[in-house]
Amino acid sequence: MAQLVSIIIPCFNAERWVSEAIHSCLTQSYQPIEIIVIDDGSTDKSLEVIKSFGDKIRWETGPNRGGNHARNRGFALSKGEYIQFLDADDILDPKNIELQTPCLMRDQADVVVGSWRKLVENKDGSFTKESLKEIKIGPDALCSLLNSEAWAPPASHLYKRQYVELIGGWDESLKCLQDVRFNAELIKHGARFMSVPHFCAYYRRPLTTTTSTRSETLFMQACFSFHNDSQEYFDKTGWTEERVKTLTRCYGYLARYYYEHDRAMFERCLEKIHALNPDYLPEGPRRLRTLSRTIGYRNAEFVALTYRKLKKCFRHL
């Protein structure tokens, strides 16, 4: 017997996109489904668009409290055994749910993740479809998530309800990396992740920016916090060679950023790196590795930053 799938759409000022998102749900080849749209205090005409679908969907509106609150509210109203989250500017493939549900029904996984494509807005308002992005989930799913191999937009995921309930839903205190932290919590609580090769969804990137790209500092802080929490989890559950390599690489990326922007945070990252790997050499340009081997990583970053600044200076002469 087919299980009910609840599709939950948080919406804030998405009048340009939300109709297409809802239509992509209504045209799903799988049944039964329910569509729940939570308007998060939109100030544009999003609510009018949502209401125009009548009794084909369920909807609710309230003050602006953030996307995670809207997702949690939609989940509280839902009845489905399987849960699909869809951002209001993204689009589901018509066979998305049909192709993903068998893995959950056969109990092969608790979360299924499909392939996706990015829709990038051009200056004329049109969108370009980028190449298919496939998901790779290794035996250690948290490492795959840390390496970004398992990252996909919420629209590419189908969840068993019991695991969303188990972790208490989405963390409403987070300003960015919400989906990453949500999936990380599921992994930590034992949810089995499985990737499927099917194309599932379009992830729209309009010219207007997201929180992560608006505030690079906020995003990097969120990454450091996520890596630190993952390190604590590995401390509790045991370290493997893959976990050491993965977390060292993650702190290394942050260190490169922080050397230029926040020297105190650079030192914190470097301390964590050396605790994991005292003989650390950075990934990236061969010249940086060679310099690090010769004069030490910290000095190599000084030379690399000086070179970048001089290059930028001469470019403007």
CATH no. of 5-209: 3.90.550.10
Is pLDDT above 50 for 212?
no
What are the sequence ranges of the domains in the chain?
Answer: 5-209, 213-315
Task: Please provide the average confidence, as pLDDT, over all residues in the chain.
Answer: 94
pLDDT one-digit tens code per residue, 235-254? 999 999 999 999 999 999 99
Is pLDDT above 80 for 258?
yes
pLDDT band of residue 209 (cuts 50, 70, 90) is: low
pLDDT one-digit tens code per residue, 73-131? 999 999 999 999 999 999 999 999 999 999 999 999 999 999 999 999 999 989 999 99
Is pLDDT above 70 for 213?
no
Our CA dihedral for 135, 137, 141, 145, rounded to 10 degrees, sits at: -30
pLDDT band of residue 295 (cuts 50, 70, 90) is: very high
Is pLDDT above 80 for 284?
no
Question: Quick check: helix, strand or coil at residue 157?
Answer: strand
Rounded CA-CA distance 258/271 in Å is 13
pLDDT score at 214: 54
Is pLDDT above 90 for 208?
no
pTM of the model: 0.93
Rounded CA-CA distance 101/111 in Å is 10
Which phi and psi (to 5°) does residue 180 adopt? -65, -45
Residues contacting 137, CB < 8 A, separation 6+: 113, 144, 149, 150, 193, 194, 195
Is pLDDT above 80 for 188?
yes
Is pLDDT above 70 for 281?
yes
Quick check: 186 and 109 in contact, CB under 8 A? no
Across 198-222, average pLDDT: 82
Is pLDDT above 50 for 1?
yes
pLDDT one-digit tens code per residue, 25-69? 999 999 999 999 999 999 999 999 999 999 999 999 999 999 999
